[in-house]
Amino acid sequence: MKFLYLFMALTPLCCAASVPPPVEDVNNVVDNTLDSLNKVKMLRPAAGSSRRGSNPVLFLVGNSTMRTGTRGNGDNGQWGWGFYMEDYFDAQKITVENHALGGTSSRSFYNTLWPDVLRGVQAGDWVFIELGHNDNGPYDAKRARASIRGIGRDSLVVTIQETGRQETVYTYGEYLRRYISQTRKKGAYPVLLSLTPRNSWTDSGKVVRADKTFGLWARQVAAEQSVPFIDLNGITALKYEKFGKYKVGYMFYGDAIHTSAFGAKVNAASAVDGIRESDALSALAQLLKPEAKVKPAGVKRIAGRMAGKPLVFTIGDSTVKNEDKDSTDMWGWGSVLGQYFDADKTAVDNQAMAGRSARTYLDEGRWDRVYDALRPGDIVFIQFGHNDGGDINVGKARGELHGAGDESKVMLMAATRRYQVIYTYGWYIRKFAGDAIEKGAIPVVLSHTPRNRWTPEGAVARSSDTYGLWAREAAEAMGAYFVDLNEISAAKLEQIGKSGALEYFKNDHTHTSLKGAHLNAQSIVEGVRALPDERIKSLLK
């Protein structure tokens, strides 16, 4: 091995003859790192403490893309993909421990945290290593975490400016070799992963890969050392390109590197994709839960999809789906809407759920079930607003921020004691519409049904300056269709009159009777007939 001794007082680092300058830190991201090492030692799990009997443990070694912040609890709006990995594994067969720490490089993790992790590793365990995002900046100052470029055998002795401590710095590839060698000595199985992709795009609309630097070097070391390699960078980048820039935008939070919960879940799923696709990881794949137990349960349809025909989905709250059984029940319009469509051309699948806001419908995985079921040409009617204005993080905890913009706020949810990013009402509507468009479906956003509330002047109270407005703005922002259900049905109720309107509601001023459900369904049909889209209109009777 070739050693280059560098004396900082005499020779500038950038001028060392045999060692290239470190990778430039172009992002200047400041995250919690070794500054909080004492705190993080108390917060991270003791290595191997999750082990059940003689079962193996999957150890995760990485940086903030795997575990954000010192606490890793999402209090900064960011989540690492390591948090979601345990969702994929059978806890009766293997446990997952996330030992990553934000701000660490292959070098700094190896020097400070790896010895503690290694002490907990036993024969038969697995160690996933995804490092490189922070292997940049100076070799000898500030965080002093840079590794030497490439996978060579060069090393460099530096004096850390702030402490005067000397340290030998190795190449990125050499640090990976050390992780591999020491893991194998314990009888465990190392796995290398390329970096998570950033929200960075080429002019041609492709996600920028790390396949010429750290991704390439990790792949090369994996091949050299005959260890499995998961191209996390490439797998997720392909998904991002399918999603498009708008959707990928909210896969990140605060910057273009650190993921939101949405992005962290995508990266975790990509890591699992890599496991399933690798013959070398077949033994680990046997410890995964069946896919059916990871994803939300499949959509339960009231009417099956006809071959080659579109399906109409409805999502919303109790005004869309209620008891819907007996003529004396409360009814939602989604349960009668099918009577207005040609049964030879389509069926209506009512996926609404009483008591839900746009946010809680998403949080509970209900939208994921619809999203997974969508096919090109399907129609999605989207109507929320009745439950979206209440408490956000206490009580029923189903409210959102007001408006239709991009505002967000990180809040601690009282029921779960977990931090969550809360967006505006319109943001959630835009997500539903955007996801539908991505799948080739046709979203139709509706303002929510009017309540049986009247002004002193004898008019039905509208929501045209709140949820009705925000629904319209969200639809327009996504290029989706908008039907002003609130206005159309309110006008009908005014023609009926205040006393007659009582027949159209059940039990209160919000929930409709069967007669009221038909009135709202008829209003939707009226709105659809006014849309400039023959695909939807052709499905009506």
Give the residue from 404, 510, 406, 408 showing the smallest Cα distance to 451.
Answer: 510
Residue 531's SS3 state is coil
508 is catalytic: yes
Give the closest residue to 527 by CA, choosing from 445, 417, 438: 445
Q: Quickly count: other Cβ atoms within 10 Å of residue 395's Cβ.
A: 11
Distance CA 423, CA 410 (A): 9
Helix or strand or coil: residue 364?
A: coil
Query: What are the DSSP calls for 99-151, one per residue?
Result: ---TT--HHHHHHHTHHHHHHH--TT-EEEEE--TT-BS-SSSTT--PPBSSS
To the nearest 10 degrees (0 to 180), the angle between helices 172-185 and 214-225 is: 40
Q: Which of 306, 299, 267 is nearest to 63 (CA)?
A: 267
Q: Tokens 């060579």 label which residue?
A: 152
Active-site residue, from 326, 344, 465, 508: 508
State the Cα–Cα distance between residues 454 and 27, nearest whole angstrom: 56
Instruction: Tell me the backbone φ, ψ of residue 329, rounded to 5 degrees.
Output: -75, 170
Residue tagged active-site, from 318, 335, 463, 489: 318
Q: What DSSP character marks residue 335? A: G
Rounded Cα–Cα distance for residues 291 and 359 (Å): 25
DSSP type of residue 461: P
For residue 368, what are the contacts with CB-CB under 8 A and spacing of at least 6?
A: 295, 296
471 is written with which tokens?
């629904």
What is the distance between the alpha carbons of residues 516 and 319, in angstroms, rounded to a whole number? Answer: 10
How is residue 203 written in tokens? Answer: 């002019």
Handedness of CA 27, 29, 35, 36 (dihedral sign): negative
Cβ(32)–Cβ(102) under 8 Å?
yes
Question: Using CA atoms, how far apart are residues 118 and 113, in angstroms rounded to an integer?
Answer: 9
* CA-wise closest residue to 171 among 188, 151, 156: 151
d(CA 130, CA 194): 6
Taking the C-alpha atoms of residue 133 and residue 64, their distance in angstroms, rounded to an integer, is: 9
The single-letter code of the amino acid at 21 is P
Signed CA dihedral, 350, 355, 358, 360: sign only: negative
CB 460 within 8 A of CB 504: no
Nearest to 444 by CA among 418, 420, 412, 479: 479
Q: Which of 258, 386, 448, 511 is catalytic?
A: 511
Which residues are part of the catalytic machinery? 318, 508, 511
